Structure 1
């Protein structure tokens, strides 16, 4: 049996082991280390299993193993374009390998992005404001254009908007699910799910067919932060799942950046609290990109020196191939440095004037008219607002109240 065949057999039994529902991540690691790999775990006797598992777990594992057809189940999974990676494999994401209690096995659909650039997790409120939509779309697009990998949970709102914008900008993205990778959740993000399969990957620690359950999402969130070098929060309420992800990111040693918001806006309460606690502030894509690339390059240089030292100590080569892969291999220079609505340049003068008078704070036509020259009548302003809404540049928040559209950069 050659190495390729051996690896495939290990995957068959890793699939068996990771599908067993009554076992936790630490026990998976301990069993594999004790026996010497997934196939060895499968062939082990009850006494060996009992060194790690409780008698009840051993009973369930024995019953589960009797009904599980390793090769058939693995083949069925591979037919769906899904593979399993264990922590011992080279293809396993290096960032994830570094976190405390790293998942023993992950299920992947699509192609994992090459780790030749920084990775950023963009997270935030599901029911976000037009301002939040705008920032998420702008940030996702700029990160995608500059080669930064965008990681997110494919959730409704900030997560999905940033991912979609990154992929539209020909960038790379990675979605992490709280269910099996064969399930699109939420269902309304099926377009994003399809795009991720074409240009990136979908990843989960949950076996194929696992439905989305509330208890699955906090563990999912730590994988999101674990796959990133930095986490960016765009809108979060004071009691928000986003803040749980931030806590996990800090425990993993990740940098946390926050987009500030209005003190009167409840969607910004969580963000403003994080800023008060010392989180980094994100004011423009340009400065953030510069900082994230510098931090990533320093990390690569440190890894290169460490690997070179280890190779010299072991009498091997002194060049770290991972360091060679790209000190700034995917790096580009951003033309767009600020969050600024520059779309007005392509509009006719009358429409551009009304567009520039808009903000993400909803306003009435009368309030907008007060910002314009006296020649603008209320009927003209309303007409322009209707045209801007048709072109998805503005949105009517409530009867008689208009604001800029947050989705205008991605639609």
Structure 2
């Protein structure tokens, strides 16, 4: 492959330079008029811009092997390398501070221009949190939003899966090179995402897993999206970093509240105290984002989190187990072990459904681990 005049080479050579991050990259290209002009400026100019000896030696050298690997990787028609000057580069991401100068995309880069909602949360959620992420993502994807997340375990995987199961599109922003999948157990999920959306990273081919890459990944995730939804997050969760980036970027931040006894709800409660929009139903998000999204004309089914889901509006059938659990509750406060005995469900299944129904406003938790069924609004 003759790379001497390849338009991507100056971008990639500069991007591979050790110690040179997005902010310095943008300062250099602004000062000299583009990546090719930076490479032609010479050592004196590079040092004047604050580059150290290692960076200067790298820029003086021949086309790096890493650049050749990137170009070879991009020979596949489903793989793309986008620069800030490329019309295919997502405009919302271009608008953030220290936007990635280079993006590696597997799949269809056009979906990055559509309205995305970042859905994030704990890697170790409760069963109810996982169900909520899946249900919200399925409904929101059917309603015209592309669901974006980070391909991690827990809430991320549930969000991607919900979007795909709902027949929608999803985008994964990763913290490794575009040829790596982390965690490895999500290879099949990654293939589904690439086929029905896109995998995105700013990290070059061959970049392994490193802890410091994930905060960088989070700013891209929030930067691509019109808003960020936090489903479950501990008090010091990495998901709060994504939410902070979203707020700094002028994007909407949504949070789902939970039980005061659930440690996975503390991060969401902290965000709500700081001004995040409290979300009880998926339609709360659709109403807030309004004209930024396309809503299908045909009815796609009830929204997760809506009372109609489990109170059986005319023509709709509620989930059988949820309906059975509501029926078993009666009208008096009841403990989980009593519900297990009445329904024959496991304690884990009952607890998971109760948490989801609490978010939907169908039940309320009381002291002593008891729950009570709430009366639907049309019956009050």
TM-score, structure 1 as length reference: 0.74
Deviations 1:236-261 (A, max 9, x none): 11111111211111111111111110
Q: 1:317 is matched with which residue?
A: none
Deviations 1:81-132 (A, max 9, x none): 5332111221111010111121221211211244664211001111001110
Structure-2 separation of matches of 1:123 and 1:194: 20
Deviation of 1:284 (Å):
0.9
Q: Which of 73, 80, 86 lines up with 1:77 in the alignment?
A: 73
Q: 1:320 is matched with which residue?
A: none
Q: 1:160 is matched with which residue?
A: 157
Q: 2:250 is matched with which residue?
A: 253
Q: Which of 301, 321, 328 lines up with 1:335 in the alignment?
A: 301
Deviation of 1:16 (Å):
2.3
Task: Figure out how many residues of one structure are paired with residues of the other and give that number.
Answer: 342
Q: Which runs of 5+ in 2 are unaligned?
A: 357-380
Say whether the 8 Å CA contact 1:354–1:368 is kept in structure 2: no
Q: 1:244 is matched with which residue?
A: 241
Change (3 A) 1:31 1:403: closer
Deviation of 1:332 (Å):
6.3
Q: Which of 101, 109, 128 lines up with 2:98 in the alignment?
A: 101
Q: 1:118 is matched with which residue?
A: 115
Change (3 A) 1:171 1:49: same
Say whether the 8 Å CA contact 2:325–2:339 is kept in structure 1: no
Q: Which of 38, 61, 64 lines up with 1:68 in the alignment?
A: 64
Change (3 A) 1:231 1:77: same
Structure-1 separation of matches of 2:91 and 2:126: 35
Say whether the 8 Å CA contact 1:111–1:197 is kept in structure 2: yes
Q: 2:264 is matched with which residue?
A: 267
Q: Which of 350, 353, 368 lines up with 1:404 in the alignment?
A: 353
**What does 1:25-36 align with in structure 2 at a 5 Å threshold?**
25-36=22-33
Q: 2:212 is matched with which residue?
A: 215
> RMSD across aligned C-alpha pairs, in angstroms?
3.2
Deviations 1:335-364 (A, max 9, x none): 31342457975759xx95357548xx9932
Q: Residue 144 in 1 paired to residue 141 in 2? A: yes
Q: 2:360 is matched with which residue?
A: none
TM-score, structure 2 as length reference: 0.79
Q: 2:198 is matched with which residue?
A: 201
SS at match of 1:88: coil
Structure-1 separation of matches of 2:354 and 2:149: 22
SS at match of 2:48: coil
Say whether the 8 Å CA contact 2:120–2:229 is kept in structure 1: yes
Deviations 1:193-232 (A, max 9, x none): 1111111111111111111111111111111111111111
Deviations 1:137-186 (A, max 9, x none): 11110111112011111111111111111122221111111111111011
Say whether the 8 Å CA contact 1:183–1:211 is kept in structure 2: yes
Structure-2 separation of matches of 1:330 and 1:56: 56
**What does 1:301-380 align with in structure 2 at a 5 Å threshold?**
328=294, 335-339=301-305, 340-341=309-310, 345=318, 347=320, 353-354=324-325, 357=328, 363-364=336-337, 366-369=338-341
SS at match of 1:267: helix
Say whether the 8 Å CA contact 1:27–1:53 is kept in structure 2: no
Structure-2 separation of matches of 1:270 and 1:362: 27
Structure-2 separation of matches of 1:336 and 1:117: 23
